[in-house]
Structure 1
Amino acid sequence: MTSASGWQELRGGWTLLVACAVGVGLSAIALPFYAIGPLTRPIAADLGWARADIQLAILFSSGLGALTAPVTGWMIDRFGARAVALPSILGVSLGLLLASYASTLTTFYLGFAATAILGAGTNPVLWSRVVSGSFEKARGAALGLALVGTALVALLLPSFIVALEEYGGWRFALRGTALLPMLIALPLVWVWLRPDPQRRAGGTAGTGLPGATVGEALRDYRFWVLAVSILLGYLAISGTLTNLVPALIDRGIEAQAAAAFAGAVGIAMVPGRVLVGFVVDRIWAPGVAMVVLLLPALACLILRDATDPVTLIAACAILGLAAGAELDLLAFLTARYFGLAHYSKIYALAYAGLAMGSATAPFLFASLHDRTGSYGTSFEVAAIFFAIAALLMPILGRYSDTDNSDRDRAA
């Protein structure tokens, strides 16, 4: 349960949380990732490309997002979150529009690469830095509420794309998706992304704040345990979610129904993000993370063969709980173990590993399909990754004394 002062923090910063939620949901990481699944089959049918080749586009969006994350962290500390976010939102729209005109794989990949480079300032490094610096007593809850934007995109985007594709083709659907950041995120971020300068959130970070230096974090075993656990979890999540719609359609399920099942992931991501955020404010977060990551291992084994609608919805919902919690846990645990003094840079380095997992998993899982003719092996591999990621979490041990949240609550 969040304290009274925590609730006061949340009420006072709700507009900032809305701006962050919309920004991260319509970011260079989230939009391409959740769009590629429902677009895979229509593009393959139109242009004759292999599914694995189509999904390789995520390597250029998330992969380059991983490479740009440390630079983004430095830019946030140097120029402030708002100055970095606004032009980057336009960059997301421009990159996806470019991809919609592709007639070769090269130009398709260039569009996704442009999305990552031009939209680098929309990645979660920025939004989590703003929230972590603006909230103390309800930091976990605030991160869960802010990052719920990706859950809403996971819920709504597949059906949105399927509807647009059935009306005007995959290019029309991708162009409609490309307009979302410019029409929705840009005005909200312009008006409401205004961090409190007294908390130094997204401004010139580090001055007077407790925390480890980048070098100290890299020499700390906990950084690597956290990074590897999150990487494995995101390999499993990314490979599964981007291939979920085509996997279900291959079993004879209609495209709209498959998109609806995928939407169950998004539905579960919302309470997953919010509930986990509230819980980790009161319960040791690595223990919470272990439970959250073990459940989707079972879900992946169920999804390997399931066709019953009730079973599919349940498995997708369990998968959504993990997908809803991973990013929040990385942000929260980075602050708790390494503090806020150099949060943007340390989080960016850990996030780079996560993004590389997100970038490579869709191609790897689709390649397994192309080799075996089914997605069964992919779901089994995902279950193993989830299990290992869960068992790594307790190794993190007690919280560091570099973060003052507990002392603030005690006061």
Structure 2
Amino acid sequence: MNRLSKRLPFYYGWVIVLSAGLSMFVRNAAGSLTIAVFVYPMEADLGWSRTEIAGAASLGGLLSIVGAPVTGWACDKFGVRWVLLVGVFLLGITTISLSWATLLVTFYAAFGFGRLLFTGPIPIGASVVVSRWFVKMRGRVNGILFFCHAVGMAVFPYVAFIFIQSRGWQQAWILLGAMVWLFALLPVLVFIRQSPEDVGLLPDGDTAHQSDDEVTQVNSEEPRWNVKEAIGTKSLWLLAIGTGFLYLIQSGTNMHQGAYFIDQGLSLKISALAVSGSGVMAGVGTLAWGWLSEKVPVRFAFAAVALVIAVSIGLFPQADTNIEALIYAGLFGVGVAGMLVVPPVAYADYFGRSSLGAIRGVTESMLAGGQAIGAVLSGYVFDVTGTYMSAFYGFAVLGGITVLMGLSAKRPLK
């Protein structure tokens, strides 16, 4: 691998980005937009309530609160390649097993574990490894990484919809599981490496041609925080809790938006298009947010993300026509794109590469908690009130609070 990395006509870090991006693409087998397409047929076939279905996603979030720190530690201890490889392999198994999960307890076990993989090993490992291979272009490569995820957000729900229409929801889960293995297993196994230094390279690809003094200056400017130091800063917790709030909103919306648009009198096709369209806009948005996070202080980018999410979710209660559903879902997708891209860039920029896996393991617990609460909260509000309106307006207020938290998260100083 050392020989290959040095013989390529381009920086090997781009191979890392592609391989990690494929793992992010396939994680959508357990995505909230994907399960949103399954809610109606599974509800009708099995007689489960929406709260019960959403509860499986919340279980995965709760498991991730404990699992995320272990994942972050494992990324630093054993290497990202093995974390991603195990994550992708197990995700394929859990997705296929959902075809037989006709009892609520088996559904919770399978999808809950799939959500654990969705929120833990795969995104932590992928974002940590690309942030180690790139420093100056960190915003852009994280944008590309989460663009791959956003493509999956668009592709997996619509492919699931097609499979459900042609084969039924049970066969659809099997086909999605096969897609996970087909796209990601081999690239992760063969190409992922922990850091550029492991193959005799330096971050960003162009620093190898600099003088020793220039390289020393770049290295000395990079922040180096260990986990204990990082968790003692106010900025870490403002970012972590704020990100948790954004994921609460995202989970509480994505999990239910397909069913919500149908409740609003729109067709199943328009509902599926709105859900997939949200993923398409997220894909476009990831690249823009990655660029923005390099051009402005990252806390301003974070606040802008929260503002877009707050505004878009505040518009959801007005969506009772086809065009409104498509526009508001698309705007929400743009906000979700920023939520995916900007926090990983902020953690790496603020705290450096040396202990990034362990630091991300700590912060992802907040993310997982938000996801766990959001999905079941929206389902509960619907089951009690018969509408999602109170949940959506509450999410808009929470998004406004997160804007202020982001603005307050200044770069920490030792």
TM-score, with length taken from structure 2: 0.88
Which residue does the alignment assign to 1:215?
228
Contact 1:24–1:127 (8 Å) recurs in 2: yes
Contact 1:34–1:242 (8 Å) recurs in 2: yes
Shift of 1:60: 2.6
Contact 1:97–1:174 (8 Å) recurs in 2: yes
**Pairing of 1:158-237 with structure 2 (within 5 A):** 158-198=157-197, 210-237=223-250
Measured in 2, the distance between the counterparts of 1:117 and 1:383 equals 26
Which residue does the alignment assign to 2:349?
336
Measured in 1, the distance between the counterparts of 2:199 and 2:35 equals 37
Which residue does the alignment assign to 2:208?
none
Contact 1:33–1:242 (8 Å) recurs in 2: yes
Shift of 1:292: 2.2
Shift of 1:11: 6.0
Which residue does the alignment assign to 1:322?
335
1:63 correspondence with 2:69:
no
Contact 1:89–1:119 (8 Å) recurs in 2: no
Measured in 2, the distance between the counterparts of 1:385 and 1:139 equals 29
Structure 1 residues 118 and 23, CA gap change in structure 2 (3 angstroms):
closer
Which residue does the alignment assign to 1:140?
139
Gaps of 5+ in 2: 1-8, 201-218
Which residue does the alignment assign to 1:386?
399
**Pairing of 1:62-81 with structure 2 (within 5 A):** 62-81=61-80
Contact 1:133–1:199 (8 Å) recurs in 2: no
Q: Deviations over 1:58-106 (max 9, x none)?
A: 0233332332111111111111111222122110011122222012111
Contact 2:285–2:338 (8 Å) recurs in 1: yes
Farther-moved stretch of structure 1 (108-117 vs 212-221) = 108-117
Which residue does the alignment assign to 2:25?
25
**Pairing of 1:102-113 with structure 2 (within 5 A):** 102-113=101-112
Measured in 2, the distance between the counterparts of 1:174 and 1:341 equals 39
Measured in 1, the distance between the counterparts of 2:242 and 2:338 equals 13
Which residue does the alignment assign to 2:390?
377
Shift of 1:47: 0.7
Which residue does the alignment assign to 1:98?
97
Shift of 1:337: 1.7
Identity, in percent, stands at 26
The one-letter code of the counterpart of 2:372 is A
Which residue does the alignment assign to 2:363?
350
Which residue does the alignment assign to 2:323?
310
Contact 2:286–2:341 (8 Å) recurs in 1: yes
Measured in 2, the distance between the counterparts of 1:286 and 1:119 equals 26
Aligned residues: 388
The one-letter code of the counterpart of 1:136 is V
Measured in 1, the distance between the counterparts of 2:350 and 2:199 equals 19
Shift of 1:184: 0.9
The one-letter code of the counterpart of 1:17 is V
Shift of 1:244: 0.5
Contact 2:75–2:358 (8 Å) recurs in 1: no
Measured in 2, the distance between the counterparts of 1:378 and 1:292 equals 20
Which residue does the alignment assign to 1:156?
155
Shift of 1:351: 1.1
Measured in 1, the distance between the counterparts of 2:223 and 2:349 equals 11
The one-letter code of the counterpart of 2:169 is W
**Pairing of 1:246-325 with structure 2 (within 5 A):** 246-325=259-338
TM-score, with length taken from structure 1: 0.88
Q: CA RMSD in A?
A: 2.4
The one-letter code of the counterpart of 1:146 is L
Farther-moved stretch of structure 1 (301-310 vs 346-355) = 301-310
Q: Deviations over 1:326-369 (max 9, x none)?
A: 12211111112222221111111111110221122111101111
1:36 correspondence with 2:49:
no
Contact 2:88–2:122 (8 Å) recurs in 1: no
